[in-house]
């Protein structure tokens, strides 16, 4: 029994000592905490019915324009400590047509502060397009004043008509990570 006790003690000692490394406390001094807040940004789903107003054989609606409020930056703590904004977009286009996407950040008076995307092309029959935009507040200090988001999605080729009975749709999901 003593032999088993000696072997197990030696094994446990070797096991714990073989996996250790000296601790480097300088890493702790170099580490900085950067809290972040993740928020859903905008979601939309558009079908052919959104583009089906036809006047004399020409589609009268070639783009869909939507503006939404964004209230998170109304918090003074977030506004004062914001370091960067990280926008993530995932788009699915079931149409066999290309679209153009504009995403604008607006202030309280609906003035454009920054254009996140301008003329971003969404190819036809694309089931997943991912995009990321990183904005540093130091480079764009006016971003802390945005309170609205404007999405404009339009047909790239406005000469051909979308069939209103088409069951295809275009969807966009997006999120925003605010780093403090």
User: Residue 47: which domain range?
Assistant: 30-179
Is 6 within the bounds of a domain? no
Domain count, the chain: 1
CATH of the domain at 103: 2.60.120
The reply to whether 17 falls in a domain is: no
For residue 92, the model assigns a pLDDT of 92
- Contact indicator for 6, 28 with CB cutoff of 8 Å: no
Domain annotation covers residue 126? yes
Residue 84 lies in a domain: yes
- What pLDDT is recorded for position 104? 92
Question: With contact defined as beta carbons under 8 Å apart, do 87 and 178 qualify?
Answer: no
d(CA 14, CA 18): 6
- The pLDDT score that the predictor gives to residue 160 is 67
pLDDT digit string (tens) for the chain, length 180 residues: 577 788 778 777 776 666 556 667 777 777 777 788 888 888 888 887 776 654 555 545 677 888 888 888 888 888 888 889 899 999 998 888 888 889 999 998 989 999 988 888 888 888 888 989 998 989 988 988 888 999 888 888 766 666 667 788 889 898 988 888
- Residue 90 maps to a domain: yes
What is the reported pTM? 0.71
The answer to whether residue 15 sits within a structural domain is no
Q: Is 10 a domain residue?
A: no
Q: Would 4 be classed as within a structural domain?
A: no
């Amino acid at each position: 029994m003593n032999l088993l006790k000696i072997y197990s003690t030696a094994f446990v000692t070797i096991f714990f000592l073989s996996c250790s490394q000296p601790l480097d406390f300088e890493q702790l001094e170099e580490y900085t905490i950067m809290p972040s807040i993740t928020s859903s940004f905008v979601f939309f789903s558009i079908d052919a019915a959104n583009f089906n107003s036809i006047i004399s054989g020409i589609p009268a609606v070639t783009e869909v324009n939507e503006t939404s409020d964004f209230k998170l930056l109304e918090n003074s703590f977030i506004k004062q400590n914001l370091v960067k904004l990280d926008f993530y977009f995932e788009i699915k286009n079931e149409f066999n047509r290309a679209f153009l996407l504009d995403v604008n950040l607006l202030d309280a008076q609906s003035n454009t502060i920054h254009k996140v995307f301008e003329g971003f092309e969404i190819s036809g029959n694309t089931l997943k397009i991912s995009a990321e935009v990183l904005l540093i507040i130091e480079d764009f200090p006016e971003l802390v004043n945005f309170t609205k988001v404007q999405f404009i999605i339009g047909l790239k080729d406005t000469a051909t008509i979308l069939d209103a009975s088409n069951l295809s749709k275009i969807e966009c999901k997006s999120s925003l990570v605010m780093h403090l």
